[in-house]
Chain A
Amino acid sequence: MSLKSLLFGLLATFAAPWLVLVVRPYSGMAHLAPVAYDEEAGDETKGFFPPTRSADQARGQLIYFQQGCVQCHTQVIRPQYLGGDGDEFKRNWGEAQDALAPKRTRQTAPYDYLGDSFAAIGERRNGPDLANAGFRFSTRQAFLEHLYNPQARYDWSSCPSQRHLFSKRTIQGQPSNLAIKTTGKHAPNEGEEIVPSTEALDLVDYLLALKRNAPLPISLGGAKPTPAAPAAPAPALAAPVK
């Protein structure tokens, strides 16, 4: 077989999947832009979908990649027919849990990654899905404490400690209001405090914003909200099942 005909054959067989699976979808996906909610069409929410990410949050996402969180955590809620019978939702992964929002449940949509330079869909689920982690930890401090000492909540946790994103220092004057409370082997000694670095703070900003429950605008095929069912009281954080 001559080089020419070999190359021609390779080109013909490979260009097809390349064009269809990679190049063609790009034009569709690269031009997605935030969509305004339309009250006239029946949207109850105001502003844009999806909510945009701040610069801090974008830096936080970079750290999320750099530190390899993406190796153990996914950020994608699959449709009901995958993963048990909607069990991903029963785990509270897909649910909004704040008292204000009515309970909404939906799988991940393309718009959920808008503005990211790389969608943190993730590689595996060694840990829980984080698509809506922002609902499960409501304060910055709670996130920081988890990052510093994940085993404080569950001693079986294999979520690695990110101690290298914190520093231990002696308290001078007023203790820092960012200092975290923690116990165990790496707790601060008397007169010391543990403060997060800017990386840790950015990362937590990003995690706090992980709330992919903004309703799809009706113009994108979102469902019309059912007329005012009284907002159910927010379920307590899922009991720490082992």
Chain B
Amino acid sequence: MSQDSSTAPIERATPEDLRERAALDRSTKLPVLFFLTSGLVWLLISCVLGLLASIKLHTPGFLDIGLLSGINWGRLQPAYFNALVYGWCFQAAMAVGLWMMARLCRQPLKNPLTLVVAGHFWNLGVTIGVLQILTGGQAPGDLLEFGRTAWLMLFASFALIVVWQVLMFASRPKGADYVTQLYIIGACFWFPWLFLTANVFTSPQTASGLHAAMTSAWYANGVLFLFLVPMAVGTATYLIPKIVGRPLHSYPLAIAGFWSLALFGGWTGLQKLIGGPLPTWMPAVSSAAQVLLLIPVLCVAANHFMTVRDRHDLVQTSPTLRFIFAGAVFYVISHVVAAFLALSPGLTQYTAAWDGLRFMLVYSYFSMTMFGAIYFILPRLTGCEWLSPGMIRVHFWANIYGGSPIGVFLIIGGIFQGNAMNVWSNGFGALTDMLHGAYIGATLGWVFVLAANLVFFFHFILIALRLGRRSERATLLTSAADHGPASVMITKGAEA
């Protein structure tokens, strides 16, 4: 990899470059806006479902009336989490991934309409799946609760996305190489493989019960650590140098981060079943791999931190960097927690701590990173700027004060839960009482998260409808007096 390849996304833009980027953005605009808009609708839906699920944990009688009585926690929990992961996270990842890939490969997106059609199928699949869960037809398996019909649609549309990404990558000009492409191609490689494996080995015709449960544990961990994590890392690695206005601190370190993820990621997942009736070495290997996943985290986090170095003041001003920075904090924390849970099955297995971890990973890390990316991308697609720094600030702080505690409450609550469950004289009433506080805290958090995302959605729609500010200058969070070199990068200049 040549030296200049590492600087590919941040080289000082000439007018031709800007024109080229504008053309690339025009080509991706339609599918990217489609995936982002429908993804955000799913985000709102999953926030409502998540809030309801959270309420049911401390007040099971809530909405236990008439026809709604069947929609209890056993349905709401998977409905919320699947809607969040497949409805919002995947669509955000596809949108941001397509946009970055076109930019990095300098390939305009061909036939964008096909991808919009694929997107409709994706949404149809998620809708069918979520409705099935809510009406009492969930399928067994972690993150596999959608039924067969839904999977078929999801797979067909994801396959199209993969083909488009690979085609762009394969036809990129010489030298247009950057580590983010590896993350995107990696995620597009791992997910279909995980997905097909899970579906083949859990389909009633072939499945053997214990093996199916094992495969689903492996799959669910894979979706998080081999799809969502690489997409978010790739996004941050693309955007941070752009905003700070300097190349990545170390390109080899970035490559090492990618390949260590590839090396260890596939081995994780079975730690969930420690103590179950499978050969002991299998969960043990997964636990070890989950701990080893701290290596890529170290590579990536150190690299990003060193890239920003003395410009951490930009976290104050740039909305994108602020969200990505907050995400990065949870990137590290959630991987440490994942390693801890893998090592403490006697304490934390089958407790709320696992839900806390997944929330942290999917929301506090992945989603925050994607919000950051949307703040960057949307003005470039629509040609107008975010209207209100105030709304951005509300979106940020409500997520920090509301969203982050949800994960923390559930993790700490789960540790107490596990500890108490290990004393046999504690009945489940005592356990329920003990978690009451944590669950109420989580509900409060959900209220904030829902409010934050409503504000964000409103803001997003205004910009998507091109009702934003017409300006050369990006919307920043503090007064625009002095932004150093960064403002050069954030300013769209001739791009508009």
* A interface with B by C-beta (< 8 Å): 1, 3, 6-7, 9-10, 13-14, 16-18, 20-22, 25-26, 29-30, 32, 65-72, 74, 76, 78-79, 81-84, 87-88, 90-91, 107-110, 112-128, 154, 156-158, 160-164, 240-242
15 contacts between A and B (CB under 8 A): A18-B193, A22-B201, A29-B208, A66-B139, A71-B73, A78-B274, A84-B421, A107-B277, A118-B140, A119-B213, A120-B213, A123-B350, A160-B60, A160-B72, A241-B427
Say yes or no for B441: interface residue by CB 8 A criterion.
no
* B interface with A by C-beta (< 8 Å): 1, 56-57, 60, 64, 67, 69-70, 72-75, 77-78, 133, 136-142, 166, 169-170, 177, 182, 185-186, 189-190, 193, 197, 201-202, 204, 206-216, 218, 259, 262-263, 265-267, 269-270, 273-279, 282, 285-286, 289, 345-346, 349-352, 354-355, 421-430, 432-433
Q: Given the complex, which residues of B lie within 8 Å of A109, measured CB to CB?
A: 277
Q: Given the complex, which residues of A lie within 8 Å of B274, measured CB to CB?
A: 78, 82
Q: Given the complex, which residues of B lie within 8 Å of A156, measured CB to CB?
A: 429, 432-433
CB-contact partner of A121 in B138, B204, B276, under 8 A: B276
Using known A-B contacts A121-B273, A121-B276, A156-B429, determine if residue A9 contacts B262 with beta carbons closer than 8 Å. Answer: yes
Across the interface, do B74 and A242 meet the contact criterion of CB distance under 8 Å?
no
Q: Given the complex, which residues of B lie within 8 Å of A66, measured CB to CB?
A: 136-139
How far is the CB of B336 from the nearest CB of chain A, in Å? 21
Across the interface, do A25 and B214 meet the contact criterion of CB distance under 8 Å?
yes
**Bound CA–CA A112/B263 (angstroms):** 34
CB-contact partner of A6 in B182, B213, B426, under 8 A: B182
For chain A, what secondary structure do more than half of its interface residues adopt (helix, strand, loop), or is it mixed?
A: loop
Across the interface, do A14 and B426 meet the contact criterion of CB distance under 8 Å?
no
Across the interface, do A13 and B75 meet the contact criterion of CB distance under 8 Å?
no
Across the interface, do A18 and B211 meet the contact criterion of CB distance under 8 Å?
no
CB-contact partner of A161 in B64, B77, B216, under 8 A: B64
**Bound CA–CA A79/B210 (angstroms):** 17
Give the number of A-B contacts (CB < 8 Å).
218
Q: Given the complex, which residues of A lie within 8 Å of B141, measured CB to CB?
A: 118
Across the interface, do A158 and B138 meet the contact criterion of CB distance under 8 Å?
no
**Bound CA–CA A112/B64 (angstroms):** 35
| New A-B contacts (10) at CB < 8 Å, excluding given A14-B193, A126-B57, A242-B427 | A16-B266, A18-B193, A21-B269, A115-B209, A118-B202, A120-B140, A156-B433, A157-B429, A241-B426, A241-B427
Q: Which residue of A lies closest to B53 (CB)?
A: A71
**Bound CA–CA A14/B430 (angstroms):** 44
Q: Given the complex, which residues of A lie within 8 Å of B426, measured CB to CB?
A: 241
Q: Given the complex, which residues of B lie within 8 Å of A6, measured CB to CB?
A: 182, 185
Q: Given the complex, which residues of A lie within 8 Å of B73, measured CB to CB?
A: 68, 71-72, 126, 158, 160
**Bound CA–CA A32/B277 (angstroms):** 13
CB-contact partner of A21 in B64, B208, B270, B422, under 8 A: B270
Using known A-B contacts A87-B424, A163-B69, determine if residue A118 contacts B64 with beta carbons closer than 8 Å. Answer: no
Q: Which residue of B lies closest to A165 (CB)?
A: B70
Q: Given the complex, which residues of B lie within 8 Å of A72, measured CB to CB?
A: 73-74
Q: Which residue of A lies closest to B346 (CB)?
A: A82
Across the interface, do B212 and A119 meet the contact criterion of CB distance under 8 Å?
yes
**Bound CA–CA A128/B215 (angstroms):** 24
Q: Given the complex, which residues of A lie within 8 Å of B72, measured CB to CB?
A: 68, 160-161
Across the interface, do A110 and B350 meet the contact criterion of CB distance under 8 Å?
no
Q: Given the complex, which residues of A lie within 8 Å of B138, measured CB to CB?
A: 65-68
Using known A-B contacts A82-B275, A121-B276, determine if residue A1 contacts B177 with beta carbons closer than 8 Å. Answer: yes
